[in-house]
Amino acid sequence: MSSNKQTMKTGQQDSGAYDVKIHAVHVDGPVIADASVTYNGCFAIRGMKLVKGDDGPYVAMPGYQSARGFVEVCTPNTPDVYEQLERAVLDAYRQKLAQMREQSLGAARQEQETPVREQRPTSVAARINTLRDGPTLADVTVDVGGAFTVSGVRVVGSENGLFVSMPSYRTANGYSDACFPCTSEFHEQVKNGVLDAYQQTLSQICDQTAASAPEQEQRSAPGMSMAQTM
């Protein structure tokens, strides 16, 4: 099936709220912490790394290795978004270190989970990059809140109908989603946005095919008349 590209309209960046959890702190190596972030209380980003750099620690977004090198699956849309995200992760990392120091001094206390913020209105825009034959029907890029671009999203066909598959990465226990809606409401919003874009793309292709059919008939008409005359 031929590929088709649809322009993704991204709105103004939503007011962002970042809830960070530090899963592990590493003493040796370039990676100093594993982190995850919940954006606006409705969209989760997993597999993030806090990495040593020449100018200080920086946040590496989740992705995978390919023949072209490392490919990010969730990318901040602007430098401001990245700075906000990095600041939130660094603050959480410092808080985690402080908690670990207190525990090592005998002031251990049960770690309290950071409360997830109330879900904020967050926009979704989807662009269909490629249409396919097979279980995977389309490759999609999704804009979340005007803040993050998520690649590697797929429309997949099944016996129960179409569903939207989020990008994932390999772990020791199999595969884990790199980023995904973490509330049922936002899950429906993302799914509907992607499937609406998919159906719209199919309709556009059908309309283009129908519009080109009369022209093809007109071009073939003289040849048919000549053959009939002969």
Sequential pLDDT tens for the chain (230 residues): 444 445 555 556 666 899 999 999 998 899 999 999 999 999 999 999 999 999 999 999 998 888 888 889 999 999 999 999 999 999 999 999 998 888 777 644 444 555 556 788 999 999 999 999 889 999 999 999 999 999 999 999 988 899 999 998 777 788 888 999 999 999 999 999 999 999 999 999 888 887 776 655 555 555 544 344 43
pLDDT of residue 109: 47
Q: Which residue spans within 3-67 are E strands per DSSP?
A: 18-25, 31-39, 43-51, 58-60, 63-66
Q: Taking the CB of residue 199, how many other CB atoms lie within 10 A of it?
A: 13
Tokens representing residue 52 in the block: 């040593």
Strands 58-60 and 63-66, by their bridges, are unpaired
Domain boundaries, the chain: 18-104, 124-220
**What pLDDT, on a 0 to 100 scale, did the predictor assign at position 208?**
81
- Say yes or no: do domains 18-104 and 124-220 share a fold: yes
Write the DSSP symbol of residue 51.
Answer: E
| Phi and psi angles of residue 196, each rounded to the nearest 5 degrees, phi first | -65, -45
- CATH class held by domain 18-104: alpha beta
Structure-block tokens of residue 95: 């808080």
Q: Which CATH architecture has domain 124-220?
A: 2-Layer Sandwich (3.30)
List the one residue out of 59, 66, 47, 7 whose CA is nearest residue 168: 47
37 φ, ψ (degrees, to nearest 5) = -135, 140
**pLDDT given for residue 195 in this prediction:** 96
pLDDT of amino acid 228: 44
Asked if residue 137 lies in contact with residue 129, where contact means CB atoms within 8 angstroms, the answer is no
What pLDDT is attached to residue 40? 95
**The pLDDT value given to residue 87:** 96
